[in-house]
């Protein structure tokens, strides 16, 4: 098992290494100071865990671009965004770009490991779920492989996007509460932000409409949650 740490100072590297190796003694930790170098190493080594500092860094690769590229290269890896000054806007942007979670610096080792374990537990629960179809079978979601198909053609979704769509699709035409969605997508390990959830779903609506038109829509139910309407059901 390998972990790649990108853009971390020495204190952060030592904190994360200690926390991870206490839980996984055989884990190898690789560090890169820049996101550009980190992306090259990621392509070469395909680590299972990736931690990247997303605070602005002049002359380096944009953090959101790094997350998008990393997700495309290692689709099943756990991507953790790190920041000294996290905000709802940054959290939403990082999750949209492909991060599985967002952690404040300085790192709290036990909390970090607990969040990783929560992500792993969610991924292990998915195989028990069944395939879901929408829009008269045009869109199919496979929870075991995290793959989606529209008209038999594969559609690229980040793990976060997949969890959102699958949770709504599993209860299509019924209301799913804000809390239930947040738990399904990010779990209890991410501080709940209604603003972040709203922004995230707003952008997913545009993506869904571009793919399926008006056959499938995500509608807001004021103060309660969201409902996926499948007009072709």
- Closest by CA to 62, choosing from 81, 47, 84, is 81
CA–CA gap between residue 103 and residue 108 (Å, rounded)? 9
CA–CA gap between residue 229 and residue 218 (Å, rounded)? 6
Report the alpha-carbon angle 213-138-175, nearest 5. 70
Tell me what pLDDT residue 189 has: 52
Claim: this prediction has a pTM higher than 0.85: no
Summarize pLDDT for 110-148 with one digit per residue, the tens.
989 988 887 887 665 444 457 788 777 788 888 877 788
Give domain limits for the chain.
Answer: 2-125, 129-230
Q: In which residue ranges of the chain is pLDDT below 50?
A: 125-128
Tell me what pLDDT residue 35 has: 94
Name the fold adopted by 129-230: Arc Repressor Mutant, subunit A (1.10.10)
Tell me what pLDDT residue 79 has: 92
| Element (DSSP H or E) covering residue 179 | helix 178-185
Name the fold adopted by 2-125: Rossmann fold (3.40.50)
Tell me what pLDDT residue 128 has: 47
Q: 190: helix, coil or strand?
A: coil
């Amino acid at each position: 098992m390998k972990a790649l740490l990108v853009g971390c100072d020495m204190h952060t590297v030592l904190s994360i290494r200690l926390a991870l190796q206490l839980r996984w003694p055989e884990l190898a930790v690789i560090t890169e100071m820049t996101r550009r170098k980190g992306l090259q190493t990621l392509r070469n080594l395909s680590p299972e865990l990736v931690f990247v500092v997303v605070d602005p860094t002049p002359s380096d690769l944009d953090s959101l671009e790094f997350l998008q590229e990393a997700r495309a290269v290692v689709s099943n890896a756990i991507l953790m965004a790190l920041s000294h000054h996290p905000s709802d806007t940054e959290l939403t942007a990082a999750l949209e770009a492909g991060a599985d979670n967002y952690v404040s610096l300085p790192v709290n080792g036990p909390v970090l490991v607990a969040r990783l374990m929560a992500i792993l537990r969610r991924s292990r629960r998915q195989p028990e779920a069944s395939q879901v179809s929408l829009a008269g079978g045009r869109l199919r979601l496979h929870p075991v492989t995290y793959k989606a198909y529209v008209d038999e053609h594969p559609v690229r979704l980040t793990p976060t996007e997949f969890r959102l769509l699958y949770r709504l699709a599993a209860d299509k035409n019924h209301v799913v509460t804000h809390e239930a969605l947040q738990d399904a997508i990010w779990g209890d390990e991410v501080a709940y932000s209604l603003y972040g959830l709203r922004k995230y779903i707003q952008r997913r609506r545009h993506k869904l409409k571009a793919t399926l038109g008006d056959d499938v829509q995500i509608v807001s139910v004021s103060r309660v949650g969201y409902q996926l309407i499948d007009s072709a059901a």
